[in-house]
Chains A and B, each alone.
Chain A
Amino acid sequence: MTIDTVSAGRRASYRFNKIGLMSLGVILAWALVAIFAPLLAPYPIGKIVNFEFFAPVSARFWMGTDYLGRDMLSRVLMGARYTVGISLVAVALACFMGVALGMMAAVLGGWIDTVLSRLMDALISIPSKLFGLVVVAGLGSSIPVLILTLAVIYTPGSYRFARALAVNINAMDYVIVARARGEGLGYLVRSEILPNITGPVLADFGLRFVFIVLLLSGLSFLGLGVQPPFADWGALVRENLGGLSFGAPAVIFPSLAIATLTISVNLLIDNLPRKIRDQGA
């Protein structure tokens, strides 16, 4: 009986509040769109379906048409694939590398820590947009290049964050006891440190995702992102920028898409269930 009440109490604290639920809903919706976009899109994305460009919202074209007369709804839906997909892979790579290296540096210390940290500092000192521009301009824009560039740009921040947290945990007596027991690096990192920093690391993951969405949109806006006829949301904004003066919906909807996704992620992080937030920190 007592066991039941205890587990009920634990389950309850995993519950989201209203804002958290709403933002989670928006994020899940975009994720579903990204997965099922080809099925949802009413028109092929490259096909000119209307002779009127920058058409207003209508029953046939729910988000109007773009500067060539292509259906905006289809393009935004397909854009979600690129924006969410590329950003997600890039942020996963960046956080994995950053957190793994950060914890390693904290546990090993000594010259390994110094070398890694200075290397990351050097990377951080390069402006991210500039770095992206140079790499993409040099190597040409393809999706793997984009993902790797974004991951490299955001690894140092994640490294710094994880290392700072891990250094604190590393000084705890239970880690010292584990060292005295003779435990190796793998165990220390996996079992003693990681479980105690997951809360903040998850929050950082979300924030970094937002940064990457914005940077990707920025690169695409500059024409260095996803190449036509495909387009992510940033590219959609750039393509249709000319329509801004006509008040065309073609430029407003992709901007809205970027905004809803990034704001939702931010709100979700702020409203994570207490149980997750309290892991570590």
Chain B
Amino acid sequence: MANIVEVRNLEVEAVTDAGRVATIIDNVSFDIADGEIVALIGESGSGKTTIALTLMGYARPGCRISGGSVSLNGHDMAKLGEGECARLRGVEVAYIPQSAAAAFNPAHKIMDQVIEVVRIHRLMPLKEARAKAIELFKALALPHPETIGERYPHQVSGGQLQRLAAAMALIGGPKLIIFDEPTTALDVTTQIEVLRAFKSVMQGKKIAGVYVSHDLAVVAQMADRIIVLRGGAVQEAGATEQIIKRPTHPYTQALISAVEPALFAGVNAKEEATKPPLLEINNLYAGYGGFSDNGLPRLLAVKHIDLRVPAGHNLGIIGESGCGKSTLARAIAGLLPAVTGNIVLDGKALAPYARHRSREQLRHIQIVFQSADTALNPAKSVSEILERPLMFYHGMTRRDRAKRIGELLDMVKLPRGLGNRRPSELSGGQKQRVNFARALAADPKLILCDEITSALDTVVAAAVIDLLKELQRELGLSYIFISHDLSTVRAICNDVAVMYAGEKVEQTSPDKIGQAGGHPYSRLLFDSVPKLDQGWLDSLKQDEALLEAYAVR
């Protein structure tokens, strides 16, 4: 097979804020054969997207391809001017972005946007283009292929929109498609359909692809070869099977071991039942919008929830987007008042509103959010951020505070010198640790962790989970760990509650979840989590009735 892409000694430079020039891609070389899918895998900042974009002759603002060659079907994209690159984009090479929702213009019909490439490059008459688009919709297993193009982007689901983005990329008949984390923002049950559609189209049309992702299990389903990147350089490259079964590079080994963490070695359920609960929730209802006639909110996000968290235990709450898991956390923290139901902490009922709770009650429950970027005030230094709860809850003097901040930073394994930095000067993992240290500063009994590892790279997330476990041993904390990622929850929780459409459908121990006899939705969720096994997607058999009932298509 001939190579469609040949990248040789690629170098990309970026100008930093301080005006220095840094080499962010260093001497990268690889080939892609006709019809082959190559995955670029690595954590954020590893340069995977930057490399993928150079295949279109594009470098993000502030970056510049400074050396090497990127040959695509005979054109050197690194040397071509902007106009010449534009002529090739959409026809020779096409791009599927991570967030299709942001890639579609909400003001235009889907069909007009899908065939825009045809119009720009004048490839064929528009009528023919529409027919071809409908063919593609069928090939991508979209419902109502004849009419879906007449809808607007907000009228289709996230998974459908991602497949429509693929149709948009395919319409120009490109020889190479770049997938930039196309399923990262999707729920697992939706992800499967999208992956299947991508795979069948790519195989059917024999198009070469570059699949950029941080998720090894997903990549194992899609790619023929995997290139592992770190810090802008290739660490290891090889056939998919070799990389996932016999990784040679230590970094690849670390990546692989982080995919499926060990189950939480929990205390048995009997012992748990005898302990007095730290937190007990009975018949909780919460929602948004005004009240309707029956006294409940118009948009009920959480219905009839009963939970028990014994002291020193962890409860995992799992579910897909929109299932009400974050709303539940907000109701417990008093940010969104529960309409009915009791929240009992240590035997005392808590007021629904945070402002009606005593300072001591507030101190016992702390909340940590997913996005470390928005959870830290950019105008304050790390010490100032950590100082506030110390002063607010404990009324510490300046000297005590300084000492305690040092201890807190030690606890979350950050160097003490970090205290003078601003959040913008920290990495994602460091920010999340500061975030956690702020919660610890209150000396809480219960920490609500709302998707705290979702925005982190696999290896970093695994380290944060280890830290959480260690702190629990030392401080006797309890966590309510909210996540959409089953394997993370299973790694840290004694008990897992599965939520669907605002209700708790099942609560069980982490090793029993998804097994026969459990709730059908839990089984569907469990089966939908990609496994680190090449044949998983192809051999996966899903219960159509279950999908019909629970999956958002």
Q: Name A's B-contacting residues (CB within 8 A).
A: 9, 172-174, 176-183, 191-192, 195-196, 279-280
Contact = CB atoms under 8 A, between A and B. Distances in A.
B205 interface: no
Contact of A196 (B371, B379, B442): B379
Given A9-B18, A173-B371, A176-B335, A181 B377 contact: no
B354 A176 contact: no
B334 interface: yes
Interface residues of B, number: 27
A170 to B, nearest CB: 12
A177 B438 contact: yes
A182 B359 contact: yes
Contacts of A9: 18
A176 B375 CA distance: 8
Contact of B374 (A173, A180, A183): A173
Contacts of B366: 180-181
Given A182-B354, A182-B355, A182-B362, A177 B392 contact: no
A195 B380 contact: yes
The 8 closest A-B CB pairs, nearest first, are A195-B379, A173-B375, A182-B362, A173-B369, A173-B374, A174-B377, A180-B333, A172-B374
B276 interface: no
25 contacts: A9-B18, A172-B374, A173-B374, A174-B375, A174-B377, A176-B335, A176-B367, A176-B369, A177-B367, A178-B388, A179-B354, A180-B333, A180-B354, A180-B366, A181-B388, A181-B389, A181-B392, A181-B442, A182-B354, A182-B392, A183-B392, A191-B388, A192-B377, A195-B377, A195-B380
B376 interface: yes
Contacts of A182: 354-355, 357, 359, 362, 392
Contacts of B18: 9
A58 B367 CA distance: 75
A180 B392 contact: no
B374 A174 contact: yes
B378 interface: yes
Query: Which among B333, B355, B379 has the highest number of chain A CB atoms within 10 Å?
Result: B379
B375 A177 contact: yes
A177 B380 CA distance: 15
A195 B18 CA distance: 23
A196 B424 CA distance: 13
Nearest to B378: A196
Contacts of B378: 196
Contacts of B362: 180-182
Contacts of B380: 191, 195
B335 A196 contact: no
Interface of B: 18, 333-335, 354-355, 357, 359, 362, 365-367, 369, 371, 374-380, 388-389, 392-393, 438, 442
Given A176-B335, A177-B438, 16 more contacts: A9-B18, A172-B374, A173-B375, A174-B376, A174-B377, A177-B367, A179-B335, A179-B354, A180-B365, A180-B367, A181-B388, A181-B389, A182-B359, A191-B377, A191-B388, A195-B377
B334 A180 contact: yes
Query: Which among B362, B377, B393 has the highest number of chain A CB atoms within 10 Å?
Result: B377
Contacts, number: 56
A229 to B, nearest CB: 49
Contacts of A191: 377, 380, 388
A53 B378 CA distance: 61
B335 A180 contact: yes
Contacts of B369: 173, 176-177
Nearest to B329: A180
A195 B423 CA distance: 14
Contacts of B367: 176-177, 180
Contacts of B357: 182
A176 B439 CA distance: 13
Nearest to B450: A173
Nearest to A5: B18
A176 B355 CA distance: 13
B354 to A, nearest CB: 6
Contacts of A173: 369, 371, 374-375
B143 to A, nearest CB: 34
A34 to B, nearest CB: 33
Nearest to B392: A181
A179 B335 CA distance: 7
Contacts of A183: 392
A132 B35 CA distance: 74
Contacts of A192: 377
Contacts of A196: 377-379
A107 B135 CA distance: 51
A279 B379 contact: yes
Nearest to A182: B362
Contacts of A177: 367, 369, 375, 438
Contacts of B359: 182
A5 B374 CA distance: 28
A113 to B, nearest CB: 16
A192 B392 CA distance: 14
Contacts of A181: 362, 366, 388-389, 392-393, 442
A195 B379 CA distance: 6
Nearest to A196: B379
A147 B375 CA distance: 41
A178 B393 CA distance: 12
A279 B378 CA distance: 9
A55 B376 CA distance: 65
Nearest to A174: B377
A262 to B, nearest CB: 31
A139 B378 CA distance: 47
Contacts of B379: 195-196, 279-280
Nearest to A169: B377
Contacts of A176: 335, 367, 369
B430 to A, nearest CB: 16
A278 to B, nearest CB: 10
Nearest to B362: A182
A191 B393 CA distance: 17
A177 B375 CA distance: 7
Contacts of B376: 174
A181 B375 CA distance: 13
A218 B44 CA distance: 57
